[in-house]
Structure 1
Amino acid sequence: MSETTDKSELMKRLDEEGDVAADYLEELLDIADLDGDIEITVEADRASLAVVTEGEPDSRLKRLVGRDGEVLEALQELTRLAVQSETGERSRLMLDIDGFRDNRRKVISEIAQNAVSEVQDSGAEVALEPMNPFERKVVHDIVAKAGLSSDSDGVGPNRHVVIKPAELVEGDSEAAE
């Protein structure tokens, strides 16, 4: 099978995931009597859905985000389960409501950039505060782009990212001395 066919099959599967998820979310919005449009895109080989409003934001959508995004995380998992139930495939879809994830991505990116600078300046590792999987992924991507390494450490709500200086490549140790 060619790479083009693989990519085509992936896009077809992600489009199906997006459609199933959008149907599920539309029903949820109807039950909750909330207004919102659903935008479906594909980002980083995963379906991405956003519940947005035209014009004036519906402050009631904030209830679907919850404090620090806890309700959003739960809705994302329920939506993934609905997709899995319909398609038989595990879903990695991302859900955003009222721009919460986009705004959070900006905040986490700034925290990650500051931590990367600190590691580069000091040469010591830096442990960040606990974060959810979405936030940890944002940090890991920024750290990798900066040429450093990172690991997730801890369990459950205490899981956090540790940023480390770039590892010396085997054979470079003599050059560093």
Structure 2
Amino acid sequence: MTHLTVSGKTIDEAVAKAVNELQTTKERLSYRVVQEPQKGFLGILGSKPAMIEAHVLPDPVELAYNFLNEMVSLMGIHATITKKEQRQHTLFDFSSEQELGRLIGKRGQTLESLEYLTNLIANRQDGAYTRIELDAENYRERRKQTLEQLALRVADKVSKTREPVPLEPMNALERKIIHTALQHISGVETVSEGKGAKRHIIVMPHPASEKSSINIR
């Protein structure tokens, strides 16, 4: 990491010089003030410029990529990691000639844990938050479709039996998929219960639809 000492009439001027000399952006510049600017006698004698020591913060996406390469190697998995820049996040997609089930884990738990650790590594420096997402051979989309189909089957059962059905514990993203899939399905509603790893969704008959059926009778 290259450190550079820069001076200027003001702190802002010194920062601007550092950004230019290090060919970076203000967001990726880290600096500490070595000397505050001081005005001398009559504005001339004894005056001191502002002085900062600056360096460029590591690229969070590069940190994430290097971390993932190392982790996959330690797991003994031979995989290609492809970076895909999305509108609000960076996606790293794993592909391999061998089975990636060990990387994905049961219901995607290993992939989720690896994604969590990757975000910690990428954002351990001060600065704007960079969101990293991981996928492996389109697992995310396949899992999404599975959850949507599950949600519709359970909603149909609840509508017929008028009995609530609890689902298995899921992470926040998967619970959102269930909530979204059923938000416009008449006759049912979804609520989340439990804490931490035990938090799950219960698909319940909608009270309004139950009252309607009673009135019809």
TM-score normalised by the chain length of structure 1: 0.66
Asked if 1 retains the 8 angstrom alpha-carbon contact of 2:159 and 2:205, the reply is: yes
Match of 2:192 among 128, 152, 155: 152
Deviation of 1:161 (Å) = 0.6
The 5 A counterparts of 1:50-69 are 50-53=92-95, 57-59=96-98, 61-69=100-108
More strand by share: 2
2:72 corresponds to 1:27: no
Gaps of 5+ in 1: 1-18
Q: String of CA shifts for 1:73-104, please: whole Å, max 9, x gaps.
A: 11111122234434645666543223222221
Change (3 A) 1:119 1:48: farther
One-letter amino acid matched to 2:196? G
More helix by share: 1
Tell me which residue corresponds to 1:41.
86
Tell me which residue corresponds to 2:137.
98
Gaps of 5+ in 2: 1-58
TM-score normalised by the chain length of structure 2: 0.56
Deviation of 1:106 (Å) = 1.6
Measure the CA separation in 2 of the matches of 1:95 and 1:26: 11
Measure the CA separation in 2 of the matches of 1:92 and 1:149: 31
Q: What's the C-alpha RMSD, in Å, of the aligned pairs? A: 3.1
Asked if 1 retains the 8 angstrom alpha-carbon contact of 2:60 and 2:123, the reply is: no
Tell me which residue corresponds to 1:14.
none
SS at match of 1:164: strand
Asked if 2 retains the 8 angstrom alpha-carbon contact of 1:61 and 1:97, the reply is: yes
Deviation of 1:141 (Å) = 0.9
With a CA cutoff of 8 Å and minimum separation of 6, indicate the structure with the bigger relative contact order: 1
Change (3 A) 1:25 1:153: same
Asked if 2 retains the 8 angstrom alpha-carbon contact of 1:80 and 1:90, the reply is: no
2:204 corresponds to 1:164: yes
Larger Rg: 2
Count residues with an aligned counterpart: 149
Tell me which residue corresponds to 1:122.
161
